[in-house]
Each structure stands twice: as C-alpha cells, then as structure tokens.
Amino acid sequence: MDAVGCSSERVPLTVTVTNPSSVGQIAGLSSIDAYPNPTAGALTLDLDLGANVLDLTVAILDLQGRTLQSTNWSAQTTGQRQLDLTALAPGHYTVRLTDGTGQWRLPVVRH
C-alpha cells in the first residue's frame, strides 16, 4: 500500500486532449489566442474571424460557474480586444465567448 492508500500496482496512462479551449464551436471563429496567462489583470484576446462579423458575449466565470463580469461585443471583427481582470481576486477563472449557439472557453489565472 502506498502513501495515499492505494493497494493496486500503478499503471501508466496516456491521455490525449483535443481542442481543450473550446466547447462547441462558434461558426466563423477560426482561432483565438489569449495572453498573458497567467495575468496580473489585463488579458488580450486575439480573434481571427476572417471576413465574418459576429455578435459575441464574453463572460468571466468563477470556479462554480457564476458569471462575475459580462459584456456584449456587437459587430465584432478580426482583431484584438482586452479584458480588464484587475477587479478580480487572484485565482482561477474561465473566459467564455458565445454567439448564442456555440461557445469557446479558456481557463485563466489571475495572479
């Protein structure tokens, strides 16, 4: 028996994570980068929408899934947007983008 009380032999496990930052898809959103992560407060989102123009809602969620901040980005095009997380206590959060159908999520650490 080991220190955590497991009496069985340890077996290696290989896990493959595919597309970890998105849940569903937002049609027309080709890619998104978020940096710096962890952040001291300012988080830059670099959106690649190609020639698409989308109405997006961005929300900051706590670990229990509660919305702490939310804003609408009407007629969003390719480019950068900044989120101000300075009002949040240091910790782990989720940035969620949605167009009402699909969504994209990213874990973020505020230090």
Domain ranges of the chain: 22-110
Distance from C-alpha of 19 to C-alpha of 47, rounded to nearest angstrom: 16
Instruction: Give the model's pLDDT for residue 12.
Output: 75
Cis amide prior to 36 (ω within 30 degrees): yes
Provide CB contacts within 8 A for 72, sequence distance 6+.
55, 56, 57
CATH for 22-110? 2.60.40.3080
Question: pLDDT tens digits for the chain (111 residues)?
Answer: 555 566 777 777 665 544 444 456 899 998 889 999 999 999 999 999 999 999 999 999 999 999 999 999 999 999 999 999 999 999 999 999 999 999 999 999 999
